[in-house]
Amino acid sequence: MKWPWTQLQNLWRAQRWPTHCAICNSWGPDVLCETCVSTFAQPRLRCKHCALPVLTGQRICTDCQTDTPALDYCIASVSYDWPWPKVMVDFKFSAQPAWAKSLALLMRHTPGAELLLESCDVVVPIPVSGERLAERGFNQSVLLARHLAKDKMHTQWLQRLRHTEAQSHLPRQERLHNLDQAFALEPMARPSILGKRIVLIDDVMTTGTTLRQAAGLLRQAGAGSVSALVFARA
Ligand SMILES: [Zn+2]
Ligand SMILES: [Zn+2]
C-alpha cells in the first residue's frame, strides 16, 4: 500500500494529526471537537475576582464584596463539572501534554483572557512539587502558560516548598489547611517582582487557596497587580 504522501506532508506541516476528541471520541484535528467545545465550554457570567458564577447584573460575588479579594481579576474558562474533571485527569495523569495546546486555546478565547495576557508583564504558572514533577514528568500549568504567553513566563519566581496532597482528593476543610505555607518566593526574584502586573496560571481552581497564597506572596514582594487565568473553576 502506498502512503498518501502529500496528505501526510500537509498534516506534518500543519502539525494537526487526526486524533480522538477527549470528550466524545469523534475523530478530528483537535483533542476537543467543535461540538463538545460549544456544548460544554460556553462562557458564563463570573465574579471578576474569584470566577464563581454570578447572576446577570452582578459583577462581584457576595464573598468578594465582604472580604478583600486576593486577585485583581480571575478568569476561568469552564466550570469544573462533567466532562471536565475527566478531561483534566487525562491531561494530568495520562501523560498527554500535547493537550495543553487545545486547553490553552480555549483559555485564550475566554472573554477577557486575551486582554489580561496582553496587558500583563509576567505570567507565573503555579508550580508543582519536585515529587509531583518526577511522578508526572511535567507541570501542567507550565505547559498551559507556555502556550498562552511563552515570552512572559517566569517559572522560578514561585517555588513549591513541599509536597501537598492532591487537592481534588481532599474534603474542603482539609484542602484549606493542606496548603499552609506551600510556596516561597525565589529571594533573587524580589527586585524583579516590584510593580509588575502578574497573571498566575493554573489548570483547576478549587477553593482558591492555592492562588490566594501565591498572590499574597507576590503582593508582599510589591507586585503591582496579581490576577489569575485558570482552565476550570470548581
Ligand atoms: Zn467531542
Ligand atoms: Zn468572587
- pLDDT tens digits for range 126-148: 999 888 888 888 899 999 999 99
Calculate what percentage of the chain has a pLDDT beyond 90. 68
- Give the integer Cα–Cα distance in Å for 39 and 25: 15
Task: Say how many Å lie between the CA of residue 60 and the centre of ligand 2.
Answer: 5
> Who surrounds ion ligand 1 at CB < 5 A?
21, 23-24, 33, 36
What is the band of 40 on the pLDDT scale with cuts at 50, 70, 90? very high
Read off the pLDDT of each residue in 206-217 and give the average, rounded to a whole number.
Answer: 94
Residue 116 has pLDDT above 80, yes or no: yes
Return the pLDDT at 95: 63
What is the band of 4 on the pLDDT scale with cuts at 50, 70, 90? low
Mean pLDDT, all residues of the chain? 87
- Give the integer Cα–Cα distance in Å for 184 and 157: 8
Task: Say how many Å lie between the CA of residue 38 and the centre of ligand 1.
Answer: 9
The answer to whether 206 and 167 are in contact (CB under 8 A) is: yes
Task: Say how many Å lie between the CA of residue 75 and the centre of ligand 2.
Answer: 11
Return the pLDDT at 137: 84
Return the pLDDT at 52: 97
What is the band of 92 on the pLDDT scale with cuts at 50, 70, 90? confident
Read off the pLDDT of each residue in 62-89 and give the average, rounded to a whole number.
Answer: 96
Task: Say how many Å lie between the CA of residue 76 and the centre of ligand 2.
Answer: 12
Task: Say how many Å lie between the CA of residue 155 and the centre of ligand 1.
Answer: 32
Measured from the alpha carbon of residue 58, the closest ligand is 2
Residue 8 has pLDDT above 70, yes or no: no
| pTM across the whole model | 0.86
What would the 3-class secondary structure string for the chain be? Answer: CCCCHHHHHHHHHHCCCCEECCCCCCEECCCCCHHHHHHHCCCCCECCCCCCECCCCCCCCHHHHHCCCCCCCEEEEEECCCCHHHHHHHHHHCCCCCHHHHHHHHHHCCCCHHHHHHHCCEEEECCCCHHHHHHHCCCHHHHHHHHHHHHHECCCCEEECCCCCCHHHCCHHHHHHHCCCCEEECHHHHHHHCCCEEEEEEEEECCCHHHHHHHHHHHHCCCCEEEEEEEEEC
Tell the residue number behind the cell numbers 507576590, with chain if given: 218
Task: Say how many Å lie between the CA of residue 207 and the centre of ligand 2.
Answer: 11
Measured from the alpha carbon of residue 35, the closest ligand is 1
> Who surrounds ion ligand 2 at CB < 5 A?
47, 49-50, 61, 64
Lowest mean pLDDT among 31-45, 54-68, 167-181, 202-216: 167-181
Task: Say how many Å lie between the CA of residue 37 and the centre of ligand 1.
Answer: 7
